[in-house]
Amino acid sequence: MRIGITCYPTYGGSGVVASELGKALAEKGHEIHFISYAMPMRLDGFIGNIFYHEVEISSYPLFDFPLYTPALASKIVEVARFEKLDIVHAHYAIPHATSAYLAKQILGNQPLKIVTTLHGTDITLVGLEPSYLPVMKFSIEQSDGVTAVSRFLKEKTLTNYNIEKDISVITNFVDINKYKRGASPEIRKRIAPNGEKILIHISNFRPVKRVQDVIKIFDLVRKKMPSKLLLVGDGPERSNCEQLCRKLKIENDVQFLGKQLEIICLLSASDLFLIPSQSESFGLSALEAMACETPVVSSSVGGLPELVVHGETGYIAEIGDVERMAKYSIELLTNDARYKLFAANSRKRAVEKFDKDIIVNQYEQYYQHVLAR
């Protein structure tokens, strides 16, 4: 198959999944064409049947804002015509599904199928804005196939947009051969020279991620045992988080690492992953932690309960319940036998339910189903 993939190339779950899916499909012999305004960050290294097409946006004094949606549609038309695409897979509905629909109309009789994958905030936050809702609803309804990364997101989409659409749940995935716990004594020694416990959080530091809750949880854990906190990523909440650390006088035990391309060594060096989000349709970073045998303490929102099994691979608490999340963290970090069991269960669940090969096969079958209609 010749598959066009359009996604956000930035530090976020939808772009990561799109990139990893494209690479996995290319390894299976499909021809993959990424269409975006920048190279997706996970596209590292040369793969012969992966091609990148940059969306060029012209600046003109009359336009106060860049017109990305029509520019993307035009680029999809160009790539589809000259590369004979079978499918355009739009990751994150706005504006990718909208641009794909417009491109399909321009192409006319040329057969091109649109598959849209809903990732989360495109549905739960952005799409519900009155200025976007009608376009979002239309784009979903006009897609030839629609998938969601969790059962929660599927139900939320059907309810929020009042549509009758067959949405298939195809979860996010992890490369279990790549994401696995490795020896990292040098990193541990550098981060925790006196044998402290290491807690970690990875996100794009948006308010919805509640990174300040991560810091408050860590502060309570730190009062009970020597520990360090790694904050990986960057975004609008970073300055507020740095100020909170100084206010709590824990800045010497918290490391802001910024955006990191290589996170396996950091997850392998960590003892616990914290994800107390306000909204989380799946939680890809938590899955990557589980694959590295790092148990997870999370909020009970969205798709997280579909990923984290309470009392087996980690613990789940109500959103904003910092004290309970800290209590769970302390219980796990002070019980060596339970911790080892949770770590093993985390890896086992990642392997059995979310392995890359399992999920990529599901996408392949879904493409064939859409093309056969």
Check if 2-173+355-372 and 185-353 are the same fold.
yes
The torsion defined by the Cα of 106, 108, 111 and 113, in degrees rounded to 10, comes to 50
What string of DSSP letters covers 291-356? HTT--EEEES-TTHHHHS-BTTTEEEE-TT-HHHHHHHHHHHHT-HHHHHHHHHHHHHHHHHHSBH
The domains of the chain are located at: 2-173+355-372, 185-353
Over its C-alpha atoms, the chain yields an Rg (Å, rounded) of 21
CATH homologous superfamily for the domain 185-353: Glycogen Phosphorylase B; (3.40.50.2000)
Per-residue pLDDT of the chain (373 residues; tens, 9 = 90+): 999 999 988 766 778 889 999 999 999 999 999 999 888 877 777 778 999 999 988 776 766 677 889 999 999 999 999 999 999 999 988 899 999 999 999 999 888 999 999 987 767 665 456 777 888 889 999 999 999 999 999 998 888 888 888 999 999 999 999 999 987 788 899 999 999 999 999 998 999 899 999 999 999 999 999 999 999 999 999 999 999 999 999 999 999 999 888 899 999 999 999 999 998 889 899 999 999 999 999 999 989 999 999 999 999 999 999 999 999 999 999 999 999 999 999 999 999 999 999 999 999 999 999 999 8
3-state class (DSSP) for residue 368: helix
Q: For residues 282 and 149, is the Cβ–Cβ distance under 8 A?
A: yes
Q: Would you say domain 2-173+355-372 falls under CATH 3.40.470.10?
A: no
Nearby residues of 67 by Cβ (< 8 Å), 6 or more positions away: 57
DSSP character at residue 12 = S
3-state class (DSSP) for residue 198: strand
